[in-house]
Amino acid sequence: MLFYNLNKPSEKVDFKTATIQGLGSEKGLFFPERIPLFPSSWINNLENYSDEEIAWSVMNQYAGETIPEKILRQITAETIAFNIPLVSVSKNIYTLELFHGPTLAFKDVGARFMSRCLGYFMKDNDRSVTVLVATSGDTGGAVANGFLGVEGVNVVILYPSGKISPVQELQLTTPGKNITALEVEGSFDDCQALVKQAFSDKELTEKIFLTSANSINVARWLPQQIYYFLAWKQWKDKLNPPVISVPSGNFGNICAGLLAFHSGLPVKHFIAACNVNAVVPEYLKTGLFKPVKAKSSLSNAMDVGDPSNFVRVLALFNSEFEPLKQTMSSESISDEETGAAIRTLYREFGYLADPHGAVGWLALDRWLKIHPNQEGIFLETAHPVKFPDTVEKFSGKPVRIPDSVQALFSKKKTSVKIKADYIVFLEKLLENKR
């Protein structure tokens, strides 16, 4: 399997190179040269396979030529070494709980897979690699956990000051060792812009071996397909595929689902559930993609005004507007509506959701009211404990604090505060190398 640069299609690399480089030239994202098609006989009998076998079967299509089978099987098994249950919420709505990993967020799947792949690729390399990652909340903690102590790898995480939850901040600022947190005075988009500029800085990349751990990296993005297949394994009505609602910010998660769909996974429809940052909902109304300055919201991990992975979504549909619009719709949910959704979910159905899951549920609920004969799944992407004030305010239910989170409060936050300025960022990056 080769991957080509969406900004420079003549540039083609294998999975190993795409993982190590992160981005192609001209800030281009890598994309599979071909989309594998899984046999319907396999897809319709997933309940006969272990989760580990399913995970390996999916990722072997993309990484198998660069990683020995035994190693890849170990990597994929460790990637999903926690429960990913499909839980009934109401008569026609289920949720796929993706928060049972070590940092209580869906990002654990991609971060664990990427960290293990990069560790394997770098084990015989005499150069250390610096992993750059911008986070709007959960990515930072998942990457810090996944890469902590990995030999030959340094991690630099950029996050927007005051715009992530206390638990999210502690998860990425307390690990120490090879993890450095930069607290940026700006938005997630500012953080992401600094990371992209660093990759296009040829003078810098000659001094520091850089790669990215955001979902722009294929090794972070592609394994997110796995839990869509695991959802189908648990889905009872195989004659009636689900509508899937995905809380969407940078669009890596839903793009992975759409890729699985193009590979043969049965899905009736996708909903990109967005907060007030409505770039994609507006695009699907007008056909015009206009990035905007990100606005803060209760669902902070989705506070993205220029979603990087949307270019991959377009690539899946050959940039054809109508086929995309038929397959995926998008809803914009306000903070007021998010709070009301948290309240309704708990009081009417006894389900305690985080703000992102609540956005996903409300978008799905609206769709199913128009299409009453359909059933659906919303992705619950983070544990409510990451947003205790918001969840408790609207649900009236105290959030139980898991032991793993309780231990964080005894640790000291260590971060370096910087302005959203590339020269300042560059100085800190070079200091970190020394």
Residue 287 lies in a domain: yes
Helices (H) and strands (E) in the chain, counts: 20, 14
Q: Please tell me which residue, 405 or 373, carries the higher pLDDT value.
A: 373
Q: What is the tally of structural domains in the chain?
A: 1
Residue range of the domain that includes 96: 69-105+221-403
> Is 293 part of a structural domain of the chain?
yes
Indicate whether 48 belongs to any domain. Answer: no
Closest CA to 163 of 49, 300, 259, 46: 300
Cα dist from 49 to 52, 56, 57, 245, whole Å: 8, 11, 10, 25
Look up the CATH number of the domain holding residue 256. 3.40.50.1100
253: in domain: yes
Q: Are 75 and 117 in contact (CB under 8 A)?
A: yes
Helix (H) or strand (E) holding 95: strand 93-97
Instruction: Please give the pLDDT value at position 289.
Output: 94
- Phi-psi sector, 27: left (phi>0), alpha (psi -120 to 50), beta: left
Q: What is residue 242's predicted lDDT score, i.e. its pLDDT? A: 98
CA distance 212 to 210: 7
Copy the structure tokens of residue 32: 């599979």
Q: Report if residue 330 sits inside a domain.
A: yes
**Phi–psi pair at 100, nearest 5 degrees:** -95, 10
Is the model's pLDDT at 110 over the cut of 60?
yes
CA atoms of 13 and 83, how far apart (whole Å): 34
**Calpha distance 30→4 (Å, rounded):** 5
Long-range contact pairs involving 277-283 (C-beta distance under 8 Å, separation at least 24) = 277/249, 277/302, 277/303, 277/304, 277/305, 277/332, 278/330, 278/332, 279/304, 279/305, 279/306, 279/307, 279/310, 280/248, 280/251, 280/307, 280/310, 280/330, 281/330, 281/331, 281/332, 283/330
Cα–Cα dist 353/343, whole Å: 9
Mean pLDDT estimate for the chain: 94
pLDDT of residue 25: 87
Q: Has residue 82 been placed in a domain?
A: yes
Q: Decide if 105 contacts 386 (C-beta within 8 A).
A: yes
pLDDT for the residue 139: 85
Residue 434 has pLDDT above 60, yes or no: no
Q: What percent of the chain has pLDDT over 90?
A: 80
Asked if residue 262 is part of any domain, the answer here is yes
- The 10s digit of each residue's pLDDT in 295-309 is 999 998 899 999 999
The strand pair at 243-247 and 269-274 is best described as: parallel
Residue 66, Cβ neighbours under 10 Å: how many?
17
Condensed to tens digits (0 to 9), the pLDDT of residues 82-109 reads 999 999 999 999 999 999 999 999 999 9
Arithmetic mean of pLDDT, 329-339: 98
List, for residues 246-257, the tens digit of each pLDDT value. Answer: 999 999 999 999
pLDDT at 396: 95
Q: Which residue has the tokens 């703000």?
A: 355
Expressed in percent and rounded to 5, the helix, strand and coil fractions of the chain are 50, 15, 35
Domain presence at residue 129? no
Q: DSSP assignment, residue 411?
A: S
Edge to edge, the sheet with strand 8-14 lists 8-14, 2-5, 30-32
Instruction: Give per-residue pLDDT as tens, 194-241.
Output: 998 998 898 998 889 888 887 889 999 999 999 999 999 999 999 999
Q: pLDDT class for 402, splitting at 50, 70, 90? A: confident
pLDDT digits (tens, 9 = 90+) for 9-54: 999 999 999 999 888 888 899 999 999 999 999 999 999 999 999 9
Radius of gyration of the chain (CA): 20
| Residue 379, pLDDT above cutoff 80 | yes
Output the pLDDT for position 152.
Answer: 83
With H, G, I as helix, E, B as strand and everything else as coil, classify residue 137: coil
pLDDT at position 399, please? 92
Return d(Cα 427, Cα 258) in angstroms, integer: 39
Predicted local confidence at residue 433, as pLDDT = 65
pLDDT band at 127 (very low <50, low <70, confident <90, very high): confident
